[in-house]
Structure 1
Protein backbone atom coordinates (compact mmCIF):
# COMPACT_ATOMS: atom_id res chain seq x y z
CA UNK A 1 0.00 0.00 0.00
CA UNK A 2 1.24 3.47 -0.83
CA UNK A 3 2.08 5.72 2.07
CA UNK A 4 -0.34 7.82 4.06
CA UNK A 5 -1.92 10.86 2.45
CA UNK A 6 -1.93 12.70 5.78
CA UNK A 7 -0.61 16.23 5.39
CA UNK A 8 -0.01 15.98 1.64
CA UNK A 9 -0.98 18.77 -0.75
CA UNK A 10 -2.16 17.66 -4.20
CA UNK A 11 -3.16 19.53 -7.34
CA UNK A 12 -4.87 18.56 -10.61
CA UNK A 13 -2.50 18.03 -13.53
CA UNK A 14 -5.04 19.47 -15.99
CA UNK A 15 -8.00 21.86 -15.90
CA UNK A 16 -11.48 20.39 -15.82
CA UNK A 17 -14.49 22.04 -17.43
CA UNK A 18 -14.79 25.80 -16.91
CA UNK A 19 -15.93 26.69 -13.42
CA UNK A 20 -14.69 23.47 -11.86
CA UNK A 21 -11.54 22.27 -10.15
CA UNK A 22 -8.36 23.16 -12.07
CA UNK A 23 -4.60 23.37 -11.88
CA UNK A 24 -4.82 26.32 -9.45
CA UNK A 25 -6.83 24.25 -6.96
CA UNK A 26 -4.95 22.78 -3.97
CA UNK A 27 -6.21 19.83 -1.94
CA UNK A 28 -4.83 19.34 1.59
CA UNK A 29 -5.40 15.72 2.59
CA UNK A 30 -5.73 14.12 6.01
CA UNK A 31 -5.80 10.41 6.81
CA UNK A 32 -6.31 8.45 10.02
CA UNK A 33 -7.38 4.85 10.63
CA UNK A 34 -8.96 4.35 7.21
CA UNK A 35 -10.70 7.74 7.19
CA UNK A 36 -9.73 10.41 4.68
CA UNK A 37 -10.76 14.04 4.45
CA UNK A 38 -9.49 17.12 2.73
CA UNK A 39 -10.07 20.82 2.23
CA UNK A 40 -9.56 22.43 -1.14
CA UNK A 41 -9.58 25.89 -2.62
CA UNK A 42 -8.29 27.76 -5.66
CA UNK A 43 -9.39 28.73 -9.13
CA UNK A 44 -13.19 28.88 -9.26
CA UNK A 45 -13.56 26.99 -5.97
CA UNK A 46 -13.79 29.25 -2.91
CA UNK A 47 -14.09 26.36 -0.47
CA UNK A 48 -14.43 22.62 -0.86
CA UNK A 49 -14.46 19.62 1.44
CA UNK A 50 -14.28 15.90 0.86
CA UNK A 51 -14.75 13.03 3.28
CA UNK A 52 -14.60 9.29 2.89
CA UNK A 53 -12.65 6.12 3.49
CA UNK A 54 -9.51 4.36 2.31
CA UNK A 55 -9.13 0.64 1.82
CA UNK A 56 -5.67 -0.34 0.61
CA UNK A 57 -5.04 1.93 -2.39
CA UNK A 58 -8.70 2.78 -3.04
CA UNK A 59 -10.35 5.97 -1.82
CA UNK A 60 -14.14 6.36 -1.81
CA UNK A 61 -15.44 9.80 -0.89
CA UNK A 62 -18.05 12.47 -1.41
CA UNK A 63 -17.22 16.10 -2.07
CA UNK A 64 -19.05 19.39 -1.73
CA UNK A 65 -17.87 22.79 -2.89
CA UNK A 66 -18.75 26.47 -3.02
CA UNK A 67 -17.83 28.36 -6.19
CA UNK A 68 -17.01 32.03 -6.68
CA UNK A 69 -20.44 32.66 -8.19
CA UNK A 70 -22.08 31.55 -4.92
CA UNK A 71 -23.37 28.22 -6.19
CA UNK A 72 -22.73 24.88 -4.49
CA UNK A 73 -22.30 21.41 -5.95
CA UNK A 74 -21.57 17.92 -4.70
CA UNK A 75 -20.62 14.51 -5.99
CA UNK A 76 -19.00 11.11 -5.47
CA UNK A 77 -15.47 10.03 -6.36
CA UNK A 78 -13.47 6.81 -6.31
CA UNK A 79 -9.68 7.18 -6.55
CA UNK A 80 -6.71 4.87 -6.86
CA UNK A 81 -3.53 5.83 -4.99
CA UNK A 82 -0.34 5.42 -7.06
CA UNK A 83 3.19 6.08 -5.85
CA UNK A 84 5.26 7.79 -8.57
CA UNK A 85 8.91 6.88 -9.30
CA UNK A 86 10.06 10.09 -7.59
CA UNK A 87 8.18 9.18 -4.41
CA UNK A 88 5.27 11.58 -4.87
CA UNK A 89 1.67 10.39 -4.75
CA UNK A 90 -0.82 10.44 -7.65
CA UNK A 91 -4.57 9.90 -7.38
CA UNK A 92 -6.36 8.55 -10.45
CA UNK A 93 -9.94 9.66 -9.99
CA UNK A 94 -13.30 8.69 -11.40
CA UNK A 95 -16.01 11.12 -10.33
CA UNK A 96 -19.69 11.82 -10.83
CA UNK A 97 -21.70 14.86 -9.87
CA UNK A 98 -24.78 14.18 -7.74
CA UNK A 99 -26.11 17.75 -7.66
CA UNK A 100 -25.96 18.21 -11.45
CA UNK A 101 -25.34 16.17 -14.61
CA UNK A 102 -21.82 15.11 -15.46
CA UNK A 103 -19.02 12.66 -14.73
CA UNK A 104 -15.44 12.11 -15.73
CA UNK A 105 -11.92 11.22 -14.73
CA UNK A 106 -9.06 13.31 -13.45
CA UNK A 107 -5.55 13.02 -12.05
CA UNK A 108 -4.16 14.90 -9.07
CA UNK A 109 -0.54 14.72 -7.98
CA UNK A 110 1.36 15.68 -4.86
CA UNK A 111 2.97 19.10 -5.14
CA UNK A 112 6.32 19.83 -3.59
CA UNK A 113 6.76 22.59 -1.02
CA UNK A 114 7.87 25.24 -3.54
CA UNK A 115 4.75 24.61 -5.67
CA UNK A 116 2.17 25.35 -2.97
Structure 2
Protein backbone atom coordinates (compact mmCIF):
# COMPACT_ATOMS: atom_id res chain seq x y z
CA UNK A 1 0.00 0.00 0.00
CA UNK A 2 1.23 3.49 -0.84
CA UNK A 3 2.44 5.63 2.03
CA UNK A 4 0.01 8.41 2.98
CA UNK A 5 1.10 12.04 2.80
CA UNK A 6 -1.39 13.03 5.50
CA UNK A 7 0.33 14.87 8.33
CA UNK A 8 3.76 14.88 6.69
CA UNK A 9 6.05 17.92 6.65
CA UNK A 10 8.34 18.32 3.64
CA UNK A 11 10.94 20.80 2.38
CA UNK A 12 12.85 21.33 -0.87
CA UNK A 13 16.34 19.81 -0.98
CA UNK A 14 17.71 22.76 -3.01
CA UNK A 15 16.94 26.43 -3.53
CA UNK A 16 15.21 27.60 -6.70
CA UNK A 17 15.44 31.14 -8.08
CA UNK A 18 14.25 34.14 -6.04
CA UNK A 19 10.50 34.31 -5.45
CA UNK A 20 10.09 30.54 -5.47
CA UNK A 21 10.14 27.86 -2.81
CA UNK A 22 13.53 27.11 -1.28
CA UNK A 23 15.18 25.11 1.48
CA UNK A 24 13.58 27.37 4.13
CA UNK A 25 10.06 26.68 2.78
CA UNK A 26 8.02 24.15 4.77
CA UNK A 27 5.04 22.19 3.41
CA UNK A 28 2.36 20.62 5.62
CA UNK A 29 0.56 17.93 3.58
CA UNK A 30 -2.90 16.44 3.97
CA UNK A 31 -4.45 13.53 2.09
CA UNK A 32 -7.90 11.95 2.12
CA UNK A 33 -9.70 9.73 -0.38
CA UNK A 34 -7.50 10.66 -3.36
CA UNK A 35 -7.46 14.38 -2.55
CA UNK A 36 -4.20 16.10 -1.53
CA UNK A 37 -3.65 19.61 -0.23
CA UNK A 38 -0.96 21.50 1.62
CA UNK A 39 -0.12 24.83 3.16
CA UNK A 40 3.39 26.19 2.82
CA UNK A 41 5.50 29.17 3.86
CA UNK A 42 9.06 30.23 4.50
CA UNK A 43 11.92 31.84 2.63
CA UNK A 44 10.49 34.03 -0.15
CA UNK A 45 6.98 32.65 0.41
CA UNK A 46 4.65 34.38 2.89
CA UNK A 47 1.85 31.88 2.33
CA UNK A 48 1.06 29.23 -0.24
CA UNK A 49 -1.59 26.60 -0.87
CA UNK A 50 -1.78 23.61 -3.16
CA UNK A 51 -4.70 21.35 -3.95
CA UNK A 52 -5.07 18.36 -6.24
CA UNK A 53 -5.43 14.65 -6.59
CA UNK A 54 -3.42 11.49 -6.06
CA UNK A 55 -3.63 8.33 -8.12
CA UNK A 56 -1.14 5.69 -7.03
CA UNK A 57 2.27 7.35 -6.76
CA UNK A 58 1.27 10.35 -8.94
CA UNK A 59 0.15 13.74 -7.62
CA UNK A 60 -1.44 16.33 -9.90
CA UNK A 61 -2.10 19.72 -8.31
CA UNK A 62 -2.35 23.47 -8.72
CA UNK A 63 -0.57 25.90 -6.40
CA UNK A 64 -0.88 29.60 -5.56
CA UNK A 65 1.41 31.67 -3.39
CA UNK A 66 2.05 35.13 -1.96
CA UNK A 67 5.69 36.20 -2.04
CA UNK A 68 7.55 38.48 0.37
CA UNK A 69 7.75 41.15 -2.36
CA UNK A 70 3.92 41.32 -2.41
CA UNK A 71 3.45 39.53 -5.74
CA UNK A 72 1.36 36.44 -6.27
CA UNK A 73 1.98 33.45 -8.53
CA UNK A 74 0.20 30.27 -9.52
CA UNK A 75 1.04 27.11 -11.38
CA UNK A 76 0.60 23.41 -12.03
CA UNK A 77 2.72 20.52 -10.76
CA UNK A 78 2.89 16.78 -11.31
CA UNK A 79 4.84 14.82 -8.71
CA UNK A 80 5.93 11.24 -8.22
CA UNK A 81 5.83 9.91 -4.65
CA UNK A 82 8.95 7.91 -3.77
CA UNK A 83 9.58 6.09 -0.51
CA UNK A 84 13.21 6.51 0.54
CA UNK A 85 15.24 3.61 2.04
CA UNK A 86 14.96 5.22 5.49
CA UNK A 87 11.14 5.28 5.22
CA UNK A 88 10.81 9.00 4.54
CA UNK A 89 8.93 10.33 1.50
CA UNK A 90 10.35 12.21 -1.47
CA UNK A 91 8.32 14.03 -4.12
CA UNK A 92 10.00 14.36 -7.52
CA UNK A 93 8.26 17.30 -9.17
CA UNK A 94 7.79 18.78 -12.62
CA UNK A 95 6.13 22.19 -12.47
CA UNK A 96 5.16 25.13 -14.63
CA UNK A 97 3.96 28.60 -13.84
CA UNK A 98 0.49 29.50 -15.12
CA UNK A 99 0.70 33.13 -13.99
CA UNK A 100 3.83 33.80 -16.04
CA UNK A 101 6.65 32.16 -17.96
CA UNK A 102 8.79 29.40 -16.52
CA UNK A 103 8.94 25.72 -15.68
CA UNK A 104 11.30 23.28 -14.03
CA UNK A 105 11.86 20.34 -11.75
CA UNK A 106 12.39 20.12 -8.01
CA UNK A 107 12.60 17.60 -5.18
CA UNK A 108 11.02 17.89 -1.74
CA UNK A 109 11.64 15.42 1.07
CA UNK A 110 9.97 14.58 4.34
CA UNK A 111 11.57 16.31 7.30
CA UNK A 112 12.63 14.60 10.47
CA UNK A 113 11.06 15.92 13.69
CA UNK A 114 14.07 18.07 14.62
CA UNK A 115 14.32 19.64 11.12
CA UNK A 116 10.86 21.23 11.30
What is the TM-score with the length of structure 2 in the denominator? 0.99
How do 1:1-116 residues align onto structure 2 when only pairs under 5 Å count? Answer: 1-116=1-116
User: How many Å apart are 1:18 and its aligned residue?
Assistant: 1.5
- How many correspondences in the alignment? 116
Moved over 2 A (4+): none
Question: What are structure 1's unaligned runs of at least 5 residues?
Answer: none
Q: Deviations over 1:4-35 (max 9, x none)?
A: 00000000000001121000000000000000
* RMSD of Structure 2 on Structure 1 (CA): 0.6
User: How many Å apart are 1:59 and its aligned residue?
Assistant: 0.1
- Partner secondary structure for residue 64 of structure 2: strand
The separation in 1 between residues aligned to 2:59 and 2:12, in whole angstroms, is 16
The separation in 2 between residues aligned to 1:82 and 1:20, in whole angstroms, is 23
The separation in 2 between residues aligned to 1:106 and 1:97, in whole angstroms, is 13
- Partner secondary structure for residue 114 of structure 2: helix
What is the TM-score with the length of structure 1 in the denominator? 0.99
